[in-house]
Structure 1
Amino acid sequence: MADKEFDIIVYGATGYTGRLVAEYLDKHYRDRDDGPKWAMAGRSLEKLEAVRDEIGAPKDTPLVVADADDAAALEEMCKRTKVVLTTVGPYQLYGDKLLAACVKTGTDYADLCGEPAWMAEKIAEHEEAAKNSGARICFSSGFDSIPFDLGVLMTQKVAKERYGKPAPRIRGRVRAMQGTFSGGTAASLGATMKAAAKNPKIINVLRDPFALAPGFDGPEQPSGMIPKYEKDLDKWAAPFVMAPINTKNVHRTNFLLGHPYGEDFQYDEMVLTSPGEAGKKMAEAAAEMMKNPFGAKPPKPGEGPSKEERENGYYDILFVAEMENGETFHYGVKGKYDPGYGSTSRMLAETGIALANSDGPGGIGTPGSFLGEDLVKRLEEHAEISFAAEN
């Protein structure tokens, strides 16, 4: 990629999550020789200046003005940078023109999208053009779906090292989590449900575990939607609200890499509760909550937890690999900070840096397919996320 004015532009830097990304880049990399050249972008210069001052970034931090509805301004912005990181969602409402601008200008892109119907639409619309322009379009570069996408990738690495072949079945299980889902996640789900009400075909996309692997029809997958007791873990498992997007991204990574997990690979995600009758009741209650996962008053985009709440958050994800011979092993991904904001902002920033520091063919992919173990190393070194086999 030719030299650009910036390595990264953070688009949506005046929003709640966008400012966290900007703050992380400033605080973590300001005095480091390996830090990226980056800028803050949004539709209002006044708001950009205010956020720059609020997060304590230097006065000379570059600011770029571009409205999400102004295709020409977005193209000019994209021409100035190697990578655009965008937190402006729901992407199905505000993301079309920025994505098109990145594809047209050959600019790498990463977002926090958890909207599979929109993603499937954009894959059909832009994949060939992205391959031609060299733009790497990297969806779902936050808590959905990096810990799960990369967790499966690393679990399969261990399986191949130990057994010489991938695990045909992996269970993703959230063992513990403290924190909140972002207002953007809630808004994205709401926008998706409204779109599905108008276009019933979207329901088919949401139900299809291989919706992001066009042309591939894989094996039947475990649903993960019915509470069940898992004897080997001695705990009940309940549905996980992010499973519908994470599982699709895991299968897309497998698809794009040429099925290194196998074409018969099965994967599902659930949340672990506890053993006994109490665990069963918790799992059943969680399943009932799936009908309205964010409650009567969902978080709104732009809202979020306090700094203390973000810093006290954490998550712990278990991957259970089941081999053909009946043996199993465990792999864990653990992260510090609130998953929906504190850790997500770090993951998006590090994805951007990894893209800026690497080359590769264009297309529409995933963190696992584009960056793989290189991103794992970055997250371990900078974002306080650990990846490790447990037995």
Structure 2
Amino acid sequence: MSGQTSPDAGTPEPSTPPTATDKPADREFDIVVFGATGFVGRLTARHLAEFAPAGTRIALAGRTETKLAEVRRGLPAAASSWPLIVADASSPSSLDAMVARTRVVCTTVGPYLRYGEALVVAAATAGTDYVDLTGEVPFVHYSIDKAHETAQATGARIVHSCGFDSIPSDLGTYLLYRKVTDDDAGTLTDTTMVLRSMRGGVSGGTIDSMRVIAEEAKDPQTRRLLLNPQALSGDPGDTPKVNMSSEPSDIAVVRARNVDPSLTGTLAPFFMSSYNTRVVRRSNVLLDNAYGPDFHYAETMNVGGIPILSALLAGGVSVGTGAFLGAMSFGPTRRLLDRVLPKPGSGPGEKSMQKGYFVSETYTRTSTGRRYRSQMKLSGDPGYRATAVMLGESALTLALEGPELPARSGVLTPAAAMGDALVERLRVAGAAFDVRELT
């Protein structure tokens, strides 16, 4: 999906990354990129080749050694000696062998409901940190049930959703919490992320995940899980039973001034809010409900500030989102959509990706009545290049920033697992963050 351009969409030039410090040689590798022959896998490998500190031990993994070698030949010189590992999502023994060799496994192999279950259990069992790009509520729910307690016992950090879903959402709220706490301004109450502007498209992998979710949603139990605003907030085997109205609607059209008096027009639903909101709420639980007893979270999308026009556009987005999801669950219409939607493993050209960007803003009013806004900007197509930056930096954070990380293990979120350390690495990689009180 394309968004409107913005004159302030640029981000600062990346500075030179620091040199890696000495690390325990308990594993052969610091990071293994699993799925390196896929489109986003290649982009992630390229980012690591360009930005990983000297001495970082990285390997590429996938089903076919010849294809891995071809990918390696197309990467910057720093990757020329990276080892290749043959591993297959359908072969649990190959996954066990792979995760036993690395401190962090970084996987782009989705849809994760089809291809990710064995890997997340293998990583948790081996005590290996894990990052992925999932946007699938049922998969994360499975991960909590099957891997959380094991990961806590082994010390593994299983961190889902380390791309456009859901780092802007999760870190945007986390940074508000840190600022409000530092200012002794109370706690967060109604908090809303606004996708202010973006240029780029929905990745083929995201579309493929939507196909899988549409099929899974035919099951009544899965459908109830998808509609539960606290679906990911419980302990293993425990899904909180709450009313849908306990949190803001994921498909509501919202008057912008209700989010913050500085905004105008009408805001549309953000198409990934039904996933991102669950991640942010899980972060709050993992942080011992630090965001506050009256914390509620929603996501929206800017469609312009002209009142009548933005209202029409927002209404169209709301109707269109529902129609699209319905069409994806109905065989004949889905086959028609499949002819025009991006295919998994494919992506835009280099020039198109370079022109992409996103700007997200998260607004809150605190329990003391003060207003705050956090902002994140990152260049690159959100679903591809920017996602590769966020995923790659998440893997590097887990691999290299151990002393700076919170003392948590289990099935975590980006904010709960990495917090400030990830923010700082993303800044070095070109992301711009701004957090301020509004007057």
Per the normalisation by structure 1, the TM-score is 0.94
Partner residue in 1 for 2:291: 261
1:240 paired to 2:270: yes
Give the secondary structure class of the aligned counterpart of 1:101. Answer: helix
d(CA) in 2 for partners of 1:387, 1:75: 41
Q: One-letter code of the match for 1:344?
A: T
Distance of aligned partners of 1:123 and 1:184 in 2 relative to their CA distance in 1, 3 Å threshold: same
Moved more, 186-195 or 163-172: 163-172
Alpha carbons 2:111, 2:212 under 8 Å: kept: yes
Q: Letter of the aligned partner of 1:19 in structure 2? A: R
Structure-to-structure mapping, 1:129-140, within 5 angstroms: 129-140=150-161
Structure 1 residues 373, 277: CA separation in 2 closer, same or farther (over 3 Å shift)?
same
1:365 corresponds, among 412, 415, 419, to 412
Q: Does 1:282 align with 2:282?
A: no
Amino acid at match of 2:227: R
TM superposition shift of 1:228: 2.8
Give the number of aligned pairs. Answer: 387
Measure the CA separation in 2 of the matches of 1:132 and 1:326: 42
> Distance in 1 between the 2:250 and 2:139 partners?
23
Which residues of 2 match residues 71-110 of structure 1 at below 5 A?
71-110=92-131
1:2/1:254 CA distance change after superposition, 3 Å: farther
Residues of 2 paired with 1:129 and 1:264: CA distance?
Answer: 32
Q: Which residue in the other structure is 2:376 paired with?
A: 333
Partner of 1:109: helix, strand, or coil?
strand
Aligned equivalents of 1:133, 1:163: Cα separation in 2: 36
Query: Are residues 1:190 and 2:211 paired?
Result: yes
Letter in 1 for 2:41: G
User: Which deviates further from its counterpart, 76-85 or 51-60?
Assistant: 51-60
Kindly indicate whether residue 39 of structure 2 is the aligned counterpart of residue 16 of structure 1: yes
C-alpha distance in structure 2 between counterparts of 1:390 and 1:53, whole Å: 48
Q: Please, which of 177, 180, 188 is the counterpart of residue 167 of structure 1?
A: 188
What is the DSSP-based 3-state SS (H/G/I as helix, E as strand, rest coil) of the residue aligned with 1:112?
coil
User: 1:82-122 deviations in whole A, cap 9, x for unaligned?
Assistant: 00000000000011111121112111100001001111122
Provide, for residues 189-237 of structure 1, a one-character-per-residue CA deviation record: whole Å limited to 9, x for no partner.
Answer: 110110121x211111111111111155678111141223223211211
Q: Is the 8 A contact 1:156 1:261 kept in 2?
A: yes
Percent of matched pairs sharing the same residue = 35
User: Following TM superposition, by how much is the alpha carbon of 1:263 offset from its aligned partner in structure 2, in angstroms?
Assistant: 3.3
Assess if the C-alpha contact under 8 Å between 1:240 and 1:271 holds in 2.
yes
**Counterparts of 2:265 and 2:418 in 1: how far apart (Å)?**
34
Q: How does 1:38-117 map to 2 (within 5 A)?
A: 38-57=58-77, 58-117=79-138
Residues 181/385 of structure 1: CA separation in 2 closer, same or farther (3 Å cut):
farther
CA displacement at 1:334 relative to structure 2? 1.3
RMSD over aligned CA atoms reads 1.8
- Bigger mean CA deviation after superposition, 96-105 or 244-253: 96-105
Equivalence for 2:6 = none
Q: SS of the counterpart of 2:188? A: coil
- TM-superposed CA distance for 1:139, in Å, is 0.5
- Give deviations 1:334-359, integer Å, cap 9, x for gaps: 11111111111011111111111216
What runs of 5+ residues in structure 2 fail to find an aligned partner?
A: 1-23, 329-333
When residues 361 and 283 of structure 1 are mapped into structure 2, their CA distance, relative to the original with a 3 A threshold, is: closer
Give 3-state SS (helix, strand or coil) of 1:290's partner: helix
Q: Deviations over 1:36-60 (max 9, x none)?
A: 2101100000100111112344432
TM-score, normalised via structure 2 length: 0.84
Using the alignment, how far apart are the partners of 1:377 and 1:94 within structure 2?
Answer: 31
Relative distance call for 1:101 and 1:383 in structure 2 (3 A) is farther
Taking the aligned partners of 2:199 and 2:97, their CA distance within structure 1 comes to 40
1:227 matches 2:253: yes
Give structure 1 regions of 4+ aligned residues with deviation exceeding 6 angstroms: none
CA–CA distance in structure 2, aligned partners of residues 331 and 103 of structure 1? 33
Within 1, Cα distance between the matches of 2:100 and 2:395? 16
Which amino acid counterpart does residue 32 of structure 2 have in structure 1? Answer: I
Q: Which amino acid aligns with 1:373?
A: D
Question: Do 1:317 and 1:333's aligned partners in 2 also have CA atoms closer than 8 Å?
Answer: yes
1:148 aligned onto 2:201: no
Which of 35, 40, 49 is matched with 1:26 structurally? 49
Q: For residue 298 of structure 1, report the CA deviation from its aligned partner.
A: 2.0
Which amino acid counterpart does residue 129 of structure 1 have in structure 2?
A: T
Query: What SS is found at the alignment partner of 2:252?
Result: coil
Map of 1:127 onto structure 2:
148
* Deviating more after overlay: 272-281 vs 54-63: 54-63
Q: Which residue does 2:9 correspond to in 1?
A: none
Q: Distance in 2 between matches of 1:204 and 1:163?
A: 39
